[in-house]
Chain A
Amino acid sequence: MNHRLTAPKIRLLLPALAILSAIGLIHSLPPIRLDLTENDLYTLSRGTRHILAQLEEPITLEFYFSNRATKDMPILRTYAQRVRELLQEYERLGKGRVTLQTIDPEPFSEAEDQAMARGLRGVRLVPGTPEVYFGVAAVTSEDETAVIPFFNQEREAYLEYDISELLVQVSRDHAPRLAVYAEPDLLVRGGINPFKHEPQDPWVAMEKIAQFYDVTWLPEDFQAIPKNSDLLVLIHPKALSEPALYAVDQFVVGGGNALLFVDPYAELDGPPAFVQPGRKKSSDLNRLFRAWGFEQIPAKFVGDDHYATSVRIAEGRPASRHLGVLTLDSTAFEDNVIAANLDKLMLSSAGAFRPLPETSIRFTPLIHSSEQSMLMPTVALDYLFDPAILYDAFKPSGQSFILAAQVEGRLSSAFPEGAPNPDPAVQIGGNADLDAHSAPRRGAASTPHLNQADDPSQVLVVGDSDFLANRLWTRVQTGPDGNRITTPFADNAAFLINAIDHLTGHPDLISIRGRGRYERPFERVERLRREAEKQLQAKLETLQQKLETTERKLARLESRKNAGATGRSGETGGLTPQQQETLNAFRQQRLQIRQELRRLQHRLNQEIEALGTRLKLINILLVPLLLTLAVLVLHVGRKFRRAYSQPTG
């Protein structure tokens, strides 16, 4: 009996075993998938396919992942799985040119040494546990290497871009060639500061690009750009001669890429205005920009209350918020490969760009100001001893301004008439050196003039040049061994490197964009909000203004009070009873204004909340109610039919 019962029971084990082994086997299947997402988030793009098809030599992708050390990190493991599958996709589409190796660098193993030698970064994610390696190295047959030291999950949207960039980096035969021009008075390459008469070190950002790229510095009076340059970089091009402008124009119209830092007010260009009054500190390439389909708003900088930074204008003075010195966080960055995953950028008196109406170019904003901003005249910066003064003229425009942008397209020349007149009299350059001009112009003349581009170019414009100066992104100290130690506090240099990598990359690489459109706000709600705001805008603005004035007055009184309190120990501080009364009145007033503002804000949200409630009711109750109704109708109908059919049947 017992025996008879167990035999069939064993049969039950069969499906159990079958399920387990089948599920075990599933995982060794190749990833065959149907991507239903709108942007094909999980499918390699055409740009990557093209890069893979053009690989000339075989590349090994060494994927390092600490398998054992991450046993209890399910989120990281899931991401690692996603990365591994993407790499497998590269291998599959590489058709033999790409080989994937998965390596688990256990602590103190040879594999770990190899990972470190390749330049991967071990990260201790949990204190007391071994370091985790999670990166990839692309290695050619000649042992040239490019690495992603550690996959940062925040860059998930750009994962494909990063891996494809690795392939492009490792397979190119030379470092990208940059032609760089910087306004000489900025002393970006170091030198003797003629105003302070002290030696000045090169800008750290310039040392960085010299480290990664093949940099050719254009002379002050350049008239041609080396043809083999992969990228033209101009930093505060203040006094370009006509032939230089022409050379820039033709380089870009001819399909060259450019990274331009054009500054309406370069703080570091020469001494302050009280030392050298009337000095021009602005660079302006609008003549070229307008032909290319956009412009920079001249003689204006963007003041932004939301991103304003506290600065100390001189030793011993209190720090105060400076509307022109902006500390931008990720809320100011558009979703794009260059600024994604940067945390902080600092700009100082930056200019704003805008596309011209009816232009055919593609104008993509990269960085923008907040809506608490306005365009302010750069003259205001000339004798600025107290940045707080800027607030006096400040009135938020409710509009955000574009501080950096990327321009793509087939551009038109700003010189429709051809090369500029060789007559030195018409040159803007001022004290032009005739001898130096003659030779390159002959060279320039040998290339035919281009009026309209055949190939699309990429121009990236940033409305600031101080952006690259040390004081806006890194502290520089001299270590005990005499070496310089730089400690970045903003990501300005990372932005520069990202931008250069992006612009010197493969055209295919540029076509791969971040593909996560993760933000999908309720457009209808946004519209409602905007309409309500428009209705209440005027009222809000007056209130806001009133609040600001009151607060300013309050701050002034309070600071006087505090100053008095520290100066002498009177019980009312440095205020007369009258002033004290005013102070109290102001406080009362501030409270009232705030209350009113809150009330308005509440009214703004009312309509939106009402819509939410309606939707909740419809979705939670409507269908169940209809269902109940349907059931009731059916039930009654059935009863009816039964009642009818009874007498006859």
Chain B
Amino acid sequence: MTRHAWIICRRELAGYFATPLAYVFLLIFLVLSGVFTFYLGGFYERNQADLRPFFDYHPWLYLFLIPAVSMRLWAEERKTGTLELLLTLPIALRDAVLGKFLAAWLFSGLALILTGPLWITVNWLGSPDNGVILAAYLGSWLMAGSYLAIGECLSAATANQVIAFILTAVVCFAFLAAGFPVVLDVFYRWAPPWLVDGVASLSFLAHFQAIGKGVLDLRDLLFFLIMIGGWLTASSIVIDLKKAG
């Protein structure tokens, strides 16, 4: 990471808190994750000292919360015309892409940290396996990063934030659902097992759950890092392309 990326990151983060957007996002995330954990997941009634009901809903929560963060990353710059300004600055395009991504990623990390009371609650109630919880937090953060990278790329592709939001949600859903039997069914009929497994291995859910068990497998970590890296590269190409077009 270069110094420029860091500068962009800080500028972006400051931007988040200048408007109520960040606050609203955090509020919704915290309230919803609490409601899901306690009401849908039956956290208290199941009488088990772990955070499964909390993490189980993250992929779905992110599905509409992360696009809300990522939609404005580039679409807004394009709409307000600050994109050209940004591109004329002596900053490499990939630094700008990386900086914006980092800001959003750190922000989603902050949202996760603010769920700390739940961790305190579960430790107060019983003796959970904190290694597993730590791994699940990390997995959740990596997954949020992947959603954000996808969102950044699609935000760069359009000037309309609503379209960016919807596109991101759709693509993320596709990656989420890739491991579901319903989706794989389409492939079973004709595809060889390796292809079916290949499609299944693209699923966020499978890798997130693998990490959430408490094991940091190099392959799962690489999966998310490659996802992030790949989509960020795609973002720079898209911006470059739009500029050229």
> From B48, which residue of chain A is reached at the shortest CB distance?
A520
**Contact at A15–B38, with CB atoms within 8 Å?**
no
> From B235, which residue of chain A is reached at the shortest CB distance?
A15
> From A518, which residue of chain B is reached at the shortest CB distance?
B48
Taking the closest CB of chain B, its distance from the CB of A287, in whole angstroms, is 41
Against B, the Cβ 8 Å flags (1 = close, 0 = not) of A15-49 are 11011001110110101111111110110000000
**Contact at B218–A12, with CB atoms within 8 Å?**
no
Contacts of A35 in B (CB 8 A): 131, 214-216
Knowing A24-B198, A72-B188, A624-B30 are in contact, say whether A36-B193 is a contact too (CB < 8 A): no
**Contact at B230–A22, with CB atoms within 8 Å?**
yes
CA distance A386 to B117 in the complex (A): 59
Knowing A32-B218, A72-B188, A74-B200 are in contact, say whether A623-B226 is a contact too (CB < 8 A): no
Does any Cβ of B come within 8 Å of A8's Cβ? yes
Q: Per a CB cutoff under 8 Å, which of A11, A23, A29, A41 touches B202?
A: A23
**Contact at B23–A619, with CB atoms within 8 Å?**
no
Contacts of A525 in B (CB 8 A): 47, 125-126
Contacts of A24 in B (CB 8 A): 198, 201
**Contact at A38–B114, with CB atoms within 8 Å?**
no
Does any Cβ of A come within 8 Å of B84's Cβ? no
Does any Cβ of A come within 8 Å of B27's Cβ? yes
Does any Cβ of A come within 8 Å of B26's Cβ? yes
Does any Cβ of B come within 8 Å of A433's Cβ? no
| Interface of B, helix, strand, loop or mixed by DSSP | helix
Q: Per a CB cutoff under 8 Å, which of B49, B126, B179, B214 touches A37?
A: B214
B contact residues, range: 35 or more
**Contact at B30–A627, with CB atoms within 8 Å?**
yes
Does any Cβ of A come within 8 Å of B127's Cβ? yes
Contacts of A26 in B (CB 8 A): 201, 219, 222-223, 226
CA distance A519 to B126 in the complex (A): 11
**Contact at A23–B201, with CB atoms within 8 Å?**
yes
> From A609, which residue of chain B is reached at the shortest CB distance?
B44
Taking the closest CB of chain A, its distance from the CB of B138, in whole angstroms, is 9
Knowing A16-B234, A33-B216 are in contact, say whether A11-B37 is a contact too (CB < 8 A): no
CA distance A42 to B216 in the complex (A): 10
Against A, the Cβ 8 Å flags (1 = close, 0 = not) of B1-39 are 000000000000000000010010011001100110110
> From B157, which residue of chain A is reached at the shortest CB distance?
A12
Does any Cβ of B come within 8 Å of A641's Cβ? no
Q: Per a CB cutoff under 8 Å, which of A18, A19, A619 touches B121?
A: A619
> From B118, which residue of chain A is reached at the shortest CB distance?
A619
Binds A, one of B56-64, B95-103, B237-245: B237-245
Does any Cβ of A come within 8 Å of B83's Cβ? no
CA distance A627 to B23 in the complex (A): 8
Interface residue total, chain A, C-beta cutoff 8 A: 55
Contacts of B47 in A (CB 8 A): 521-522, 525
Contacts of A520 in B (CB 8 A): 48-50, 126-129
Does any Cβ of A come within 8 Å of B135's Cβ? yes
CA distance A521 to B49 in the complex (A): 6
Cβ < 8 Å to A, chain B residues 148-185? 179, 181, 184-185
Taking the closest CB of chain B, its distance from the CB of A413, in whole angstroms, is 40
Contacts of B129 in A (CB 8 A): 37-39, 517, 520
**Contact at A36–B240, with CB atoms within 8 Å?**
no
Contacts of A615 in B (CB 8 A): 38, 44, 121, 125
Taking the closest CB of chain A, its distance from the CB of B147, in whole angstroms, is 15
Contacts of A174 in B (CB 8 A): none
Taking the closest CB of chain B, its distance from the CB of A533, in whole angstroms, is 16
Does any Cβ of B come within 8 Å of A5's Cβ? yes
**Contact at A619–B27, with CB atoms within 8 Å?**
no
Against B, the Cβ 8 Å flags (1 = close, 0 = not) of A515-537 are 00101111111000000000000
> From B242, which residue of chain A is reached at the shortest CB distance?
A8
Against B, the Cβ 8 Å flags (1 = close, 0 = not) of A211-224 are 00000000000000
Does any Cβ of A come within 8 Å of B93's Cβ? no
Does any Cβ of A come within 8 Å of B65's Cβ? no
CA distance A618 to B201 in the complex (A): 38
Does any Cβ of B come within 8 Å of A196's Cβ? no
Does any Cβ of A come within 8 Å of B112's Cβ? no
Does any Cβ of B come within 8 Å of A612's Cβ? yes
Cβ < 8 Å to B, chain A residues 603-649? 612, 615-616, 618-624, 627-628, 631
Contacts of B227 in A (CB 8 A): 19
**Contact at B38–A619, with CB atoms within 8 Å?**
yes
Q: Per a CB cutoff under 8 Å, which of A15, A74, A619 touches B230?
A: A15
Does any Cβ of B come within 8 Å of A484's Cβ? no
CA distance A468 to B27 in the complex (A): 63
Does any Cβ of B come within 8 Å of A594's Cβ? no
**Contact at B184–A74, with CB atoms within 8 Å?**
yes
Contacts of A628 in B (CB 8 A): 23, 27
**Contact at B230–A18, with CB atoms within 8 Å?**
yes
CA distance A479 to B216 in the complex (A): 56
Knowing A12-B234, A36-B216, A72-B181 are in contact, say whether A522-B125 is a contact too (CB < 8 A): yes
Does any Cβ of A come within 8 Å of B91's Cβ? no
Does any Cβ of B come within 8 Å of A442's Cβ? no
Interface residue ranges, B against A (CB under 8 Å): 20, 23, 26-27, 30-31, 34-35, 37-38, 44-45, 47-50, 114-115, 117-118, 121, 124-132, 134-135, 179, 181, 184-185, 188, 193, 196-198, 200-202, 206, 213-219, 222-223, 226-227, 230-231, 233-234, 237-238, 240-241, 244-245
A-B contacts, 26 listed (Cβ < 8 Å): A8-B237, A8-B240, A8-B244, A11-B241, A16-B234, A19-B226, A23-B202, A23-B223, A27-B219, A33-B217, A36-B135, A38-B131, A41-B215, A71-B188, A78-B206, A519-B48, A521-B48, A522-B44, A524-B126, A525-B47, A525-B125, A612-B44, A612-B45, A618-B121, A623-B114, A624-B30
Query: What are the 6 closest A-B residue pairs judged by CB atoms, nearest first?
Result: A620-B34, A36-B131, A19-B230, A37-B214, A522-B125, A520-B49
